[in-house]
């Protein structure tokens, strides 16, 4: 197979998959000196926007091509001059796939258990199911349909279901935060994950878009389909089921877990599930799980995480700043951004989970705490752009040596945000201009906050760690120099963004095995080994592969 990269296409040429393929095919025949009928198959592999020159915004495409005569592929590439070879490569056409039952050596007497149905847990369970291991997947929250109702009910009434919300339920925190599939890591498994999403109902363009996303309106159906795949392969998925204890043998190996579930009448039931293989993909907000692990002497360590605020601008202003006169072109859509500023206090301010045309969401999972996050629907057609503006909290910033100290800081800031927001899960908000001037805000300007529970205009400093507030003030003007208008005084800040990542690492070795606990595989973002949907799904597959390898 031949891969051709760095194919330039105008906005019109890159507007659809069909037009992109035409541009790629035309360039392939020119560069390889072949006829169009020599091409047996061509597929769009990557599409990105080049907006470095605002007067010439265009697309950069990559395509993968199979010729009718495979021997001709080698000959075509070998005859290229050195300049052309920079963008033309022979690649292996083999792609990763899920393991099959015949890859298992010793089938375990007890089925493996996966805790948590976020992307890490879903892909771990799906991998085990493909291998014929019939895993049990438990999730403390609800299925997608019920979870959607619970989130909408909370947005309307302020009545929080602490087990089914933006953080907990099928798909994890990613389900209602846009479904962004961008990642800073490279792994052959990414293609398998994207293909799995597409087969489950995600838009095909995620296979080639350089910044793919599914959308919070589509992702619930996608993860529901993945659950059906797990069940069709012999796995079992239980919602509204929470792990409340873990038991080990005297040698330290996993022997069972205790689960608590609730029936239709609201009655709680506990059950002990015997298992010797446990993939723990609990998510970054499962604070009770971290407390349980600490009580049971599992190996935990505090890690760097981040806290800050959500910032909102008018999406049309971001579009103009990014695309110039091309802003608004239907082929471009709403413009994203990714920014970082290194400040004179030795800290850094960076954007995270940027949601073009989206809204700020109410992401609390504990009573009397305000948490913000961001989301976009697939169309990304909302009036505002929003993103987290975050500052790292390093282990040395925390008092004492308790590995759960980061959780204590998160919780105290969230409760303070609840208080200064006035209760009812209203969020404290402040205009950028007022924040920079150390004065409370009294109302919105040109940017209307989208947080669904409503905001209280005030000062946000009281709910932020001091160094976070300081770094925000130092960094926002620097970000304005990188993206025109970013520091506009009318931009709105909503607090607090405190759940961008886990403050705890569940220690494991290079083969994904927990330290001192045979049969336990800490997994995903909550365990400290991922930072988004793609990396979490990748880690889920890796942990399942490690479990399967141990069975051999």
The domains of the chain are located at: 2-90, 112-301+502-551, 304-497
Helix, strand, coil shares, percent, the chain, to 5: 30, 25, 45
Q: 83: which 2 tokens?
A: 């300049």
For position 179, what pLDDT does the model report?
76
Q: Residue 421 CA to chain centroid, in angstroms?
A: 27
* Average pLDDT of the chain, as a whole number: 95
Alpha-carbon gap, residue 126 to 143, rounded angstroms: 17
- Residue 208, number of CB atoms within 10 A of its CB: 20
Of 3.50.50.60, 3.40.50.620, 3.40.50.1000, 3.40.640.10, the CATH number of 112-301+502-551 is: 3.50.50.60
H or E segment to which residue 543 belongs: helix 533-551
Phi, psi dihedrals of residue 165, rounded to the nearest 5°: -165, -160
Per-residue pLDDT for 235 more than 70?
A: yes
Mean pLDDT across the stretch 520-524? 98
Q: What DSSP assignment string belongs to 482-513? A: HSTTTT-TT-EEEEEE--SS-SEEE-B-TTSP
Other beta carbons within 10 Å of 497: 28
pLDDT the model gives residue 93:
75
pLDDT score recorded for residue 519 = 96
**What interhelical angle do 119-130 and 219-232 show, nearest 10?**
30
Please write the tens of the pLDDT for every residue from 57-73: 999 999 999 999 888 88
Comparison of pLDDT for 37 and 177, the residue scoring more:
37
Q: What is the pLDDT of residue 374?
A: 96
Residue 81 has pLDDT above 90, yes or no: no
| DSSP result, 57-102 | -EEEEEEEEEESSHHHHHHHHHTS-HHHHTTEEE----------GG
Q: Which of 299, 263, 285 is nearest to 116 (CA)?
A: 285
pLDDT band at 437 (very low <50, low <70, confident <90, very high): very high
pLDDT tens digits for range 387-422? 999 999 999 999 999 999 999 999 999 999 999 999
Which segments of 211-323 does DSSP mark as H helices, in order?
A: 219-232, 287-295, 315-323
Query: Is 80 exceeded by the pLDDT of residue 299?
Result: yes
The CB density around residue 522, as the number of other CB atoms within 10 Å, is 29
CA dihedral for 410, 416, 419, 421, sign (positive or negative): negative
In tens, the pLDDT along 101-147 reads 876 766 788 999 999 999 999 999 999 999 999 999 999 999 999 99
Q: What CA–CA distance (Å, rounded) separates 335 from 328?
A: 9
Contact 552, 545 (CB under 8 A): no
Among 79-88, 377-386, 395-404, 442-451, name the one with the lowest average pLDDT: 79-88
Q: pLDDT at position 382, please?
A: 96
Residue 274, token pair as written in the block:
């015997």
Band the pLDDT of 162: cuts 50, 70, 90: very high
Q: Is domain 2-90 in CATH 3.30.450.20, yes or no?
A: no
The torsion angles phi and psi of 481, rounded to 5 degrees, stand at -75, -20
Q: Is the dihedral of CA 535, 539, 541, 545 positive or negative?
A: positive
pLDDT of residue 105: 65
Q: Is the pLDDT of residue 184 over 80?
A: no
Q: Mean pLDDT, to the nearest integer, of 477-502?
A: 97
């Amino acid at each position: 197979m031949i891969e051709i990269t760095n194919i330039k296409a105008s906005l019109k040429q890159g507007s659809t998959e069909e037009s992109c393929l035409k541009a790629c095919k035309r360039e392939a025949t020119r560069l390889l000196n072949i006829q169009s009928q020599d091409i047996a198959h061509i597929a769009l592999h990557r599409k990105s926007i080049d907006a470095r020159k605002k007067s010439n915004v265009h697309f950069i495409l990559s395509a993968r091509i199979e010729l009718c005569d495979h021997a001709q592929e080698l000959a075509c590439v070998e005859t290229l001059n050195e300049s052309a070879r920079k963008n033309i490569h022979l690649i292996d056409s083999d792609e990763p796939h899920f393991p099959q039952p015949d890859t298992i050596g010793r089938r375990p007497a007890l089925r493996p258990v996966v805790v948590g149905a976020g992307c890490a847990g879903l892909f771990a369970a799906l991998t085990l199911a493909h291998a014929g291991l019939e895993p049990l997947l438990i999730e403390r929250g609800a299925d997608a349909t019920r979870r959607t109702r619970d989130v909408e009910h909370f947005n309307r009434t302020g009545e929080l279901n602490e087990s089914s919300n933006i953080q907990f339920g099928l798909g994890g925190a990613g389900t209602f935060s846009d479904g962004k599939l961008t990642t800073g890591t490279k792994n052959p498994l990414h293609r398998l994950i994207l293909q799995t999403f597409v087969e489950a109902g995600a838009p095909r363009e995620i296979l080639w878009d350089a910044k793919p996303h599914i959308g919070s309106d589509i992702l619930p159906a996608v993860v529901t389909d993945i659950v059906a795949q797990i069940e069709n392969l012999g796995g079992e998925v239980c919602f509204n089921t929470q792990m409340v204890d873990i038991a080990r043998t005297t040698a330290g190996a996993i022997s069972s877990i205790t689960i608590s579930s609730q029936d239709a009448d609201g009655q709680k039931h506990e059950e002990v599930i015997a298992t010797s293989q446990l993939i723990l993909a609990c998510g970054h907000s499962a604070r009770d799980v971290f407390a349980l692990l600490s009580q049971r002497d599992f190996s935990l360590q505090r890690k760097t995480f981040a806290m800050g605020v959500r910032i909102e601008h008018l999406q049309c202003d971001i579009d103009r700043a990014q695309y110039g006169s091309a802003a608004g072109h239907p082929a471009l859509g709403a413009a994203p951004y990714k920014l970082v500023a290194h400040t004179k206090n030795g800290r850094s301010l960076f954007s995270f989970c940027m949601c073009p045309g989206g809204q700020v969401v109410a992401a609390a999972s504990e009573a009397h705490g305000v948490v913000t996050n961001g989301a976009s629907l697939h169309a990304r057609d909302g009036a505002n752009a929003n993103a987290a503006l975050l500052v790292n909290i390093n282990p040395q910033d925390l008092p004492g040596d308790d590995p759960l100290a980061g959780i204590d800081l998160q919780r105290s800031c969230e409760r303070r945000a609840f208080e200064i927001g006035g209760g009812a899960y209203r969020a404290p908000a402040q205009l950028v201009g007022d924040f920079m001037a150390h004065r409370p805000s009294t109302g919105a300007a040109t940017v209307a906050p989208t947080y669904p529970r409503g905001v209280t205009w005030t000062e946000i400093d009281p709910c932020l760690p001091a160094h976070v507030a300081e770094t925000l003030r130092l960094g926002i003007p620097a970000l304005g120099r990188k993206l025109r208008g970013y520091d506009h005084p009318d931009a709105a800040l909503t607090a607090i963004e405190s759940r961008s990542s886990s403050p705890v690492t569940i220690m494991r070795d290079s083969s994904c095995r927990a330290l001192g606990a045979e049969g336990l595989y800490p997994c995903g973002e909550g365990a400290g080994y991922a930072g988004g949907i793609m990396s979490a799904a990748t880690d889920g597959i890796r942990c399942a592969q490690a479990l399967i390898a141990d069975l051999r």
